[in-house]
Structure 1
């Protein structure tokens, strides 16, 4: 008996679990959990800077040694960021986030038990490696729950959680330090990490907008409308085309400049306020919290403004890049005057100088997501935030050297503040003049083919 080759034989379809029903309620619940994730992340970063004076006195560290300790956090930060960005394209974000949070929690406890310079360095190196992918993985996870035209606000909320983390952590850590000693500040952050793990095990889910298509892979509730691209998998593009796109380059430069200031503010600004301005530990914590709250408003405000402008038909060159570029420039100008003005006016300048530029973090995530093929977005984010992290290695170390060379006087800090201001102004101008996500998205779309690129 012969078989007609033109007749297709029935084949068994692979069995799979039914997808979860998509709902905006679930999407916002995941957004809230990822916001808490970033709060813990930035609380971990802030712990060292807020305990700097007590830590240096207890362990007998010089400013240069403390600068090296602060920089050690970022030693493997970039490697972790790139590796996490690549892995998140292959591993579910649910498990990536869980593993990262577990490492964050565990590495805090040795500091609580046997603090020394070497233990602190080892702890900060491992912590930096595990926290490096936090931004790209969290952003990738939240963007799986929203289509492109609705990503600005949830993305801004997750990014703004860095400011919220400092708002919560700064006064709490200052209180813990005064009450139980600086070592318990690290122990408290370890406990916070374990608590988030329990929460994520209960509610963590993978988003319905998967890596291979812009369409939701799960049913959408009736009445919910999204604008989508055609229901086809996005072709990949060579990574070099994405990384040499003006939008990516400008936001990478801006991110380096902004993270230079972030690294400076989280590690040395509390010490400056204490040793140079004579502000108490509790008052310093409150000032840092206020500055962080302003930064969180800046990031959320960027998302809200951008979404409003996009809804009114304004191109993302101005609604995303334009808003971010202006914010970075204003921060740079405020930072020029910050070290030379005393009294209440210095406190007023501190807010835009050390906070307003954070609007670029939210804008960069949305702009880079706009030009990146979805299947490659995790890796693109990873490299972008690795560039940011490189500034975190440089800023604390350079500041420590300059402060020690100036014998702890204000002149060492002033030089670093002016360097930071120059970086912000130049980077902000580049974003304002050259970044154009819509243009670069079109150029990259034309370069795509049906072939897969590494």
Structure 2
């Protein structure tokens, strides 16, 4: 068999690394939160509001960020995003010199800026995957970059816990900011559009062209935003996908924000132990994420329609994620670990939303459609931390919190099965 080349895998590896840093930067505050909140005098509800700052900005920038991707190209916009979010992450360490309302305001502002900078990242991932991979490989490629959110915890949670314990919480922000800047340097040397890559062979270029939209937005006639939005906000499959992604992302933001607090305050683990404890569910989420994409692409190769190949793993995975509710009925740390691990394995299997977007996004509005999808999904980044903070302030317990998270997993299944229609490419006509 003649090799077609493997340049696209190098690009995918870079997407994985960038997403790894993206999610590690989101998690810095949650790991530092138990110590940081005590040092700065921040209560639970205020901490929930600070957690939500990222989400407010991230959601707000999705549509303009998608337009930027379409207008200037994903590689360049993504590079600028990495540089900016890394700088704003490092700056959070300076909040150590503030306290009370001043500390809350500064943390909120800096988390807000991180959210603004990270906004184009996932629509950029989807656009780059659509540009670099044929349809039959997109499920696996999307699952691999999406699974980086779990591997971020596997790799960085123990390191961040050690930094916080040994050097103090401000240094975890400085460390992650420096790592991000290093990734930006590598990105600039590795990632570009297929048409501009000097090592791309004709054989690999032909393979990529199988069902892939053109990489260069300039090759397509622009569509007025109003016309595109009317289609993107009314198509049944897209609406169902948006809603499902919101409920799936609720589980993500429980893990990224309140999970370490749950381990420290409800399960009485130390900061270091909480970082280590987080690794096993994250590994399970990573494995589930990769398996979900592989399973989906295997179904496609076996002759299943895109609708079946994407919906079956999504619904099955989120049913497994209901196991998070079991944490309310067990007492040992080992059983909590088992329930959480099963939940995040299932969530990983079911997190195929970006693969579906790569399948259905209009060629003439790939960035915009990805931005809208990510805007709906990451509304959970606003709502989840605040609702959990309020529930904890009123009840003082995580029991209702875990029940709400499980309810969101079930709601995502309903959206995938009953709301989403056929999965097929949407075209925007003149």
* Shared fold, TM over 0.5: yes
Cα deviation for residue 432 of structure 1 reads 2.5
Cα deviation for residue 96 of structure 1 reads 0.7
Aligned counterpart, 2:265: 275
Unmatched tracts of structure 2, length 5 or more: 97-102
CA distance in 2, matches of 1:209, 1:250: 36
Cα distance change, pair 83–102 in 1 and its aligned pair in 2 (3 A): same
Contact 1:145 1:208 in 2 (8 A): no
1:264 to 254, 270, 273: 254
RMSD: 2.5
Cα distance change, pair 151–178 in 1 and its aligned pair in 2 (3 A): same
CA distance in 2, matches of 1:377, 1:223: 20
Contact 2:12 2:141 in 1 (8 A): yes
List per-residue Cα deviations over 1:372-397 (Å, max 9, x = no partner): 22221111110001111111101111
Question: Which has the larger helix fraction?
Answer: 2
2:366 to 358, 362, 377: 377
CA distance in 2, matches of 1:75, 1:168: 27
Contact 2:236 2:420 in 1 (8 A): yes
2:380 to 379, 391, 414: 391
Cα distance change, pair 49–241 in 1 and its aligned pair in 2 (3 A): same
CA distance in 2, matches of 1:358, 1:61: 32
TM-score, structure 2 as length reference: 0.89
TM-score, structure 1 as length reference: 0.85
Helix, strand or coil for the counterpart of 2:379?
helix
2:124 to 137, 144, 151: 137
Aligned counterpart, 1:32: 13
Structure of larger gyration radius: 1
Cα deviation for residue 324 of structure 1 reads 0.4
1:161 aligns with 2:148: yes
2:411 to 411, 420, 426: 426
1:85 aligns with 2:72: no
Cα distance change, pair 315–109 in 1 and its aligned pair in 2 (3 A): same
Cα deviation for residue 225 of structure 1 reads 4.6
1:435 aligns with 2:420: yes
List per-residue Cα deviations over 1:358-377 (Å, max 9, x = no partner): 3333x211212222222211
CA distance in 1, matches of 2:376, 2:32: 27
Aligned counterpart, 2:99: none
Cα deviation for residue 118 of structure 1 reads 2.3
Cα distance change, pair 91–23 in 1 and its aligned pair in 2 (3 A): farther
The within-5 A match list for 1:206-217 is 206-208=193-195
Helix, strand or coil for the counterpart of 1:58?
helix
The within-5 A match list for 1:158-307 is 158-208=145-195, 220-221=202-203, 225=207, 228=210, 238-307=228-297
Helix, strand or coil for the counterpart of 2:304?
coil
Unmatched tracts of structure 1, length 5 or more: 1-21, 211-217
Cα deviation for residue 95 of structure 1 reads 1.1
CA distance in 2, matches of 1:274, 1:229: 48
The within-5 A match list for 1:33-112 is 33-112=14-93
Helix, strand or coil for the counterpart of 2:56?
coil
